[in-house]
Amino acid sequence: MKSTLKLFKYNRTSTLILLPKLEDNLWDEQPENWPNTIRWNAGHIYAEAEGFLHDADHKYEIVHPEWLDLFLDGTRPSDWGDNVPSKQEIIEALQEQEKRIEAFFPGKYDNEVSKVRDLNGTLLDTVDDSLQFVTWHEGIHLGIMKSLRLALK
């Protein structure tokens, strides 16, 4: 197994250990001066991975495209209506996404991406670059969710 996929799996396992432990009442609380909630961060991990990995390989199909309008950069829980995925739906989607990524990407790491992403001058131009970014990004939001839990207690 490629090192990038090993680290992705480590991050995803860490996320999936944390999320079920977070009390339901904390998922939608937003402390003052915090831009988002635990639910938003959990959904954001999912939605951003779908977008980045679809751009890495357009054959990777986005599941729950309706979630993108809720969880991509620039969105806020304060803008949501009533149709927001539950804690369990997000956890199950993250579990399913992990399995899809594990099945879809082996052997494609060195492939050029379908659409290059430019992150402040850093070009994600291989599938491996995109998977590494998704892994790094998830780690950041895992830390934010842990910090939110502490801020809310």
pLDDT digits (tens, 9 = 90+) for 32-50: 999 999 999 999 999 999 9
pLDDT digits (tens, 9 = 90+) for 52-83: 999 999 999 999 999 999 999 999 999 998 88
CATH number of the domain to which 27 belongs: 1.20.120.450
Residue 129 has pLDDT above 70, yes or no: yes
Residue 95 has pLDDT above 80, yes or no: yes
> 90 and 43 in contact (C-beta within 8 Å)?
yes
Residues in the chain: 153
Burial of residue 6 (number of CB atoms within 10 Å: 0-12, 13-18, 19+):
exposed
Q: What is the mean pLDDT of residues 11-32?
A: 96
- Residue 81: per-residue pLDDT: 87
- Residue 107: per-residue pLDDT: 94
- pTM listed for this prediction: 0.96
Q: How far apart are CA 127 and CA 22, in angstroms?
A: 32
Domain span holding position 67: 3-152
Domain total of the chain? 1
DSSP 8-state secondary structure symbol assigned to residue 62: P
Q: What is the mean pLDDT of residues 122-133?
A: 97
Name 19's Cβ contacts closer than 8 Å, sequence gap at least 6: 42, 87, 90, 91, 94, 145
pLDDT band at 1 (very low <50, low <70, confident <90, very high): low
pLDDT digits (tens, 9 = 90+) for 78-88: 999 888 999 99
Q: How far apart are CA 91 and CA 43, in angstroms?
A: 9
